[in-house]
Amino acid sequence: MSGLLQRIKRASSSSYVSERKLVFKIDWFILSYCCISYFINYLDRSSINNAYLSGMKEDLHMYSNELQQINMVFTCGYIIGQLPGSYALQILPPRIWFPLMNLLWGIMTIFSFAAHSVKSMMILRFFMALAEASTFAGTHYILGAWYKDTELCKRAGIFSMSGLVGTMFAGYLQTAVHHSLDGKRGLAGWRWLFIVDGLLTIPLALYGFFLFPDVPETTKAPYFSQQERELALKRLPAKPAKKPLTLGSFKSIVCSWRIYGLCLLWMVSGETQAIAVNVLMGQWMKWSNRFSVAQVNNYPTVITAVGVISTMVSSIIADKLHGRARWPFGFFLCAVVSTSASILLAWNVSDGVKFFAYFLSGATYAGQAIWFSWANDICRDNDQERGVVVFCMNMVQNIWHVWWALVMYPNTDTPRFIKGYIGLLVMGGTVFIMSIIVSILQKRDKRRKREAQDQKESVEMHSISEIDSVSSSSLKLSQKDVITSVAPTLKRQRVPKLLSSFIHYQKLWLSRI
């Protein structure tokens, strides 16, 4: 009862109301922009897979591994754009950089409608990926700059869900476009999809240019009052003043376990999403020749819907378990992957069981929000390290994915992908192991930090005790007693020096009172 009364009292306090108002504004102007941006990002990114399933394969004569090759070129562009994107956010205002990249990838998406060869599509997708490279990791960097630890994972989950909804909506959009625009003005439905997707980025870019508020230290957004700007900084843990990324600071980052542990964790966790990312369900449905274009585009969206639900639930749980180890999420991902991959390896099961295995695999999307919010939490004491680690996690995973997807999931292995499902089992087990290792290392860092703080406080208390001891003994003597006691043995000219020492210790003692 007392706890409830305490919460009611806290909720009615002016400071709590002010903070809630600030968080609402952050959600409205920052989280909304980031989510819409990621939604359109994935809408544009997924368009290539939906176009492939809706006529592009036949029009561009893609009868071998051309889809995987196009996606590989996209991933290469995405990797190349990671570090420049990270550096750009250190020197350019996010309200300029993010909208500019939105506009560029939108233009590349629109131009894709005119592609008449696999080579031209590869070129367009490469430059599209360069522009998209800042969106994912850059957003996690921005979210970590505005939200407290207890708020971050839920927002990261909402952000990740927006991308999943974009993937899901892409299937529905392709179905609608194919039905209503196929053949209009001599263009196939899949070409119209690129035009519609690309046009959506223009209002988003304008929104960002005028309303995105940068970071708390530099924001000049008119909708934040001066008190709210101060509160935005005050409510977060204190951190060193932001400095340019130098060679020395970069060396300290690469000498830490954090960059390696977190990069390896996301590298393997990202591959647990392979069933959805490589459209394995859609390829099986198209190969079977038993489903319509609408079914091939719409049924796999259930995978994404499962991903949305699992991401939201996991994010809420992670926020409730603030500060505790997150290896149980690694175990959860391992269990999901093992179940789905084992069923699909067996293969000779009913379509209903196959659908269950494909749909269940969507739960692996939960890892994205969990691991990136964890990285923000682990690296919160070093802003430079946080920015580099988040970008490197994304970059390393994509470097791994370039060759892994090509070797494990070639289109020529449709529909069984035996190598790929065996690889999934390995990735699931490795995620669990890596989550345990990172949890142990984080716990060790916290213990060392606590011991260093205790040692520092012990030294300070010892110094204070010495001052108190000297001050107490000095005050036992009055000025007259001091002069009387030292007069027989000391020369008169030494008395002022002794009095000066007495007054000094007296001031120290009084300051402690």
Kindly list the distances between the CA atom of residue 350 and the CA atoms of 204, 295, 329, 356, 363, in Å, as whole numbers in the listed order: 44, 18, 30, 10, 21
Q: What is the rounded CA–CA span in Å between residue 307 and residue 363? A: 5
Residue 100 forms part of a structural domain: yes
Check the CA dihedral 415-420-424-425 and report its sign: positive
Which residues constitute the domain of residue 481?
A: 477-512
**pLDDT number for residue 503:** 52
* 494 and 421 housed in the same domain: no
Residues 160 and 292 in one domain: yes
In a domain, 462, yes or no: no
Q: What pLDDT, on a 0 to 100 scale, did the predictor assign at position 179?
A: 83
Please indicate, yes or no, whether residues 381 and 492 belong to a single structural domain of this protein.
no
Q: Are residues 313 and 278 in the same domain?
A: yes
Cα(417)–Cα(421) distance, integer angstroms = 6
pLDDT at 178: 80
3-state helix, strand, coil in the chain (%, to 5): 80, 0, 20
Q: Clarify whether residues 498 and 381 are in a common domain.
A: no
As for how many domains the chain has, the answer is 2
Angle between helices 418-475 and 327-346 (to 10 degrees): 180
Instruction: Using the Cα atoms of residue 315, residue 317, residue 323 and residue 326 in order, give the sign of their dihedral.
Output: negative
**276 plus 394 within the same structural domain:** yes
| Same-domain check for residues 423 and 500 | no
Task: Note the pLDDT of residue 273.
Answer: 93
- Residue 30 sits in a domain whose CATH number is 1.20.1250.20
Tens digit of each residue's pLDDT, the chain (513 residues)? 555 555 555 555 678 889 999 999 999 999 999 999 999 988 888 888 888 888 898 899 988 888 888 988 998 998 898 888 878 888 889 999 999 999 999 999 999 999 999 999 999 999 999 999 888 888 988 998 899 888 888 898 898 888 888 878 877 887 888 888 888 988 998 899 899 989 999 999 999 999 999 889 889 899 999 999 999 988 887 665 556 667 777 788 888 999 999 999 999 999 999 998 888 999 999 899 999 888 888 899 899 899 999 998 988 888 777 667 789 999 999 999 999 999 999 999 999 999 999 999 999 999 988 998 899 888 888 878 888 898 899 889 989 988 898 899 988 898 999 999 999 999 999 999 999 999 999 999 888 888 888 887 777 776 676 665 655 555 454 444 544 544 454 444 444 554 455 455 445 444 444
Nearest residue to 107 (alpha-carbon basis) of 134, 125, 91, 90: 125
Please check whether residue 243 lies inside any domain of the structure.
no
**Alpha-carbon distance values, 374 to 65, 159, 173, 175 (Å):** 36, 15, 34, 37
Question: Based on the domain organization, do 385 and 485 belong to the same domain?
Answer: no
Rounded Cα distance, 53 and 45, in Å: 14
Q: Are residues 483 and 341 in the same domain?
A: no
Q: Are 494 and 361 within one domain?
A: no
Structure tokens at 89: 């956010």
CA distance 139 to 142: 5
Residues 380 and 499 in one domain: no
| Residue 223: DSSP 8-state | T
